[in-house]
Structure 1
Amino acid sequence: MDRRPTAFETMHPLFVHLHAGHLLRTALELRLPDLVGEQPAPAAEIALAAGADPGLTARLFRALSGLGVFLRVGPDTYAHNDLSLLLRSGSGDATAAIVNAFLKPEWMWQVWAGLTDAVRSGACPFPSVHGNDFFGFLGDSPQVAEDFGRAMTLSLAAADPVVASTLDLGGVRHLVDIGGGQGALLRSVLHRHPGLRGTLFDIPAALADVDPELGCEIVAGDARESVPAADAYLFRLVLHNWDDETCVQMLSRCAEAGNAGARVFVVEALRTDDLFVSLMDLQMFLLLGGKERDEDEFAALFSRAGLRYRGARATASAFHVVEASLE
């Protein structure tokens, strides 16, 4: 007869999940991904370069390799694998930027430490943890803002042409990209639709370093208050920053300013049971009080703003294009 697993054995996956983040954080703080070179190296040698205890460094590597980060190739000797390579800094690619912006910073770990209180209270913990809201915090922390902006730009670059190809812009002469930042997505849209008039619309601070050769109008403003008149409006990763009431405000401004038959395109990850999306949903709340939404929730927002929900289209990326139009 098969032996039933003990309670401790059943708990093994939970134990791994509980401690995995601390293992990765320590590896990043000690710069282990950078210190492991192209050839396998003994843990003691890496410990010396890291200024760390050799014995504990070997034990840390043992746990990391068990987690799937680094490859154990001999007694206390380790080499890179695909996951550890992603954690190296200085490569200039999107993964390194994401590591620097989201995985390493102490301020991010402090916010996640506020999850318990947030679940109890229903209040975004960021202001109480850092003394300011998220965007105010970025304004006071230039390096954090630079790291965050770089991570967003590089991580979304591959999706720009994919999203641009999914947008149905038939009959649209003027498109306003709301909260478009540096205009990377709008650039892809204009490249695909050369006769289209584009307007990049964002708060003044976000427009400070826009490429003057982007080839569109640049308008500073607050979408909660007003937006330019247009045939279509584009929100990419904007609404998930905000609570429902603020989203309705912004969508209502589009309904008020839009030309006859104007359309609204929202580019976001639809909320599903996928673990990564569920984690992002919680992160949006912890940082901004926002959330990821499913189709029904988007339809409800559009209805409250005087817009008609037209459906969601998958893209060849992590995002969907959710569409609405003026009634």
Structure 2
Amino acid sequence: MATFEATAETAAKNLESGRTLRELSDLVTPMAIRVAITLRIAQKIDVGRLTAEVLAADTGTDADVLERILLHLVTVGVLTRNERGEFGLTRIGEDMLVESGKAANPPWLDLNTVAGRAELTFTRLLDVARTGKVAYSAQYGTSFWDDLTRDTSSGTAFDLVMARGMERRIHEIAKAYDWGSLGTVVDVGGGNGTLLAGLLHAHPGLRGTVLDRHAEPALRTFKDAGLSERATAISGSFLKPLPPGAGGYILSRIQSDWNDADVRTILGHCRKAAEPQGKIIIIDEFATEEGVRCNSEDDLRMLVYYGGKERTMEQVRALATDVGLSVESLRAAADWTIMELVPTEL
């Protein structure tokens, strides 16, 4: 019910603000913002390069075209412009500076990043509706994940975004489950090791390994945290067999990024590696009920980027049952849920 109430509240706010269907479906402003971010306009303005002519020279763009883009951003309240033709940043415009500090761009809006390019695949949403094919692969001829593996800077930015979400919840996750009883864990798709490092700090007897596209980011995290004696990382894919024998296999924010067949493959590899007594631990935010998504925007992103979806607990439980896993327990951890799975007879 809360989701429907939120939807009604959003609709009411749109009506109160006078936002029209045209404004809600506008592509001009989002693309102008993305171009400005990709060209690092905010950073250049912040250090004093202010006119369209100077900004165009710095960015290798046409001065007339760039000025027209920037003037639109003045119109919508992202930039200011004075009588000398110098552009400045509004409070909203300053948000273009703050993702990882002034030197970095918001990775989801920078068109030079994998995530930024992925946003453009929404122009294929009609094709997805008609064919069910993954938009990213159709547009670029490769998968989002393969691109992320090849583009190390985008991969690093992606891991940082994921880590920030984890950092807000790590304390609750660490205390909501007896991680120490597992002895050893493999954080499958564990990114830069933020989750595992937090668990190891909270449970001194625990040891662990991160498996992800590249091992180096997690290894740096463990070294900086003084955890290298208890934690390591290996490069690999969870679509292939996993290192066996750990007490637990963690899947954090993984299941929504893949289609049903791939989720079964991932869970199946976890089950095989965990046999006979290991556990599979899913840490995630689940859709509240069939047909209702916690975050409808992210649900559509999962669809066009990867062919995934925001799943309900029951949908995940059904996929787990298909590969011989059953739910042992469910625990709340901040606004996420810890789902403990154990192998059963197939």
Q: TM-score range by the shorter chain?
A: 0.7 to 0.9
> In structure 2, how many angstroms separate the alpha carbons of the residues matched to 1:187 and 1:154?
14
Secondary structure of 1:103 counterpart: coil
Partner of 1:223: 238
TM-score (norm: length of structure 2)? 0.72
Matches within 5 A, 1:1-327: 12-19=19-26, 20-29=29-38, 31-35=40-44, 37=46, 46-51=51-56, 52-53=63-64, 56=68, 59-65=71-77, 69=78, 79-81=89-91, 83-88=92-97, 92-93=100-101, 99=106, 101-105=107-111, 107-154=117-164, 156-169=166-179, 171-202=181-212, 205-209=213-217, 210-211=219-220, 213=223, 214=228, 215-227=230-242, 228-259=244-275, 261-272=277-288, 277-310=295-328, 312-316=330-334, 319-327=336-344
Amino acid at match of 1:28: I
Secondary structure of 1:84 counterpart: helix
Alpha-carbon distance change, 315 to 84 in structure 1, aligned in 2, over 3 angstroms: farther
Alpha-carbon distance change, 79 to 292 in structure 1, aligned in 2, over 3 angstroms: same
| Unmatched 5+ stretches in structure 2 | 1-15, 57-62
Alpha-carbon distance change, 73 to 200 in structure 1, aligned in 2, over 3 angstroms: same
CA shift for structure 1 position 26: 4.1
Whether the 8 Å CA contact 1:98–1:155 is kept in 2: the answer is no
Q: Which moved more, 1:276-285 or 1:28-37?
A: 28-37
- CA RMSD in angstroms comes to 3.8
Amino acid at match of 1:34: Q
Partner of 2:9: none
User: What are the Cα deviations for residues 16-65 of structure 1, in whole angstroms up to 9, with x where unaligned?
Assistant: 22224234224424645335559xx9xx9554543355984674244322
CA shift for structure 1 position 274: 8.0
How many matched pairs? 305
Secondary structure of 2:286 counterpart: coil
Amino acid at match of 1:249: T
Amino acid at match of 1:320: T
Q: Which moved more, 1:272-281 or 1:172-181?
A: 272-281
Amino acid at match of 2:303: F
Secondary structure of 1:105 counterpart: coil
Amino acid at match of 2:264: V
TM-score (norm: length of structure 1)? 0.76
> In structure 2, how many angstroms separate the alpha carbons of the residues matched to 1:24 and 1:314?
38
CA shift for structure 1 position 226: 2.5
